[in-house]
Amino acid sequence: MHFMIIAQDAKAADTLEKRLAARQEHMQGIKAHKLDGSIVDGGAILDDEGHMCGSAVFCDFESRAALEDYLEKEVYMREGVWEEVKIYPVKRVDWDTLLSS
């Protein structure tokens, strides 16, 4: 199932510091998930000044439960970087069909 995750960072003064401290572990984790196909694409959400303030992720997990299991282990969740996480089921564009027509 395809999902979109919108994760807003916590508003605490030390959130950016926590994000940067956890970034290497986060990047290694999403690399592994990209290689296994469960992370399709994503990136940091930026505020009007260009500072990271959240994350947007397109993913493909077997089920919502599998996605929630991933989120429980995600370092940004464990370290309190992400405060509000919204999960939306999505129907992605079938690019192969669209581009070949």
Ordered structural domains, the chain, with CATH: 2-100 (3.30.70.1060)
d(CA 6, CA 86): 5
In angstroms, rounded to a whole number, what is the distance separating the alpha carbons of residues 32 and 28? 6
β-strand pairing of 39-46 with 2-9:
unpaired
Q: For residue 15, which of 49, 50, 51 has the smallest C-alpha distance?
A: 51
The reported pLDDT for the residue numbered 79 is 96
SS3 43: strand
How distant, in Å, are the alpha carbons of 2, 96, 100 from that of 93?
A: 11, 9, 13
Average pLDDT over residues 61-85: 97
Which pLDDT does position 101 carry in this prediction?
86
Q: Is the pLDDT of residue 99 over 90?
A: yes
Tally of CA atoms within 13 A in the half-sphere of 85 that contains its CB: 19
> Do residues 8 and 54 make contact, with C-beta atoms less than 8 angstroms apart?
yes
Q: How confident is the model at residue 100 (pLDDT cuts 50, 70, 90)?
A: very high
pLDDT of residue 50: 96
Q: pLDDT for 10-62, tens place per residue?
A: 999 999 999 999 999 999 999 999 999 999 999 999 999 999 999 999 999 99
Torsion sign over Cα 13, 14, 17, 19: negative
pLDDT-based confidence at residue 2 (cuts at 50, 70, 90): very high
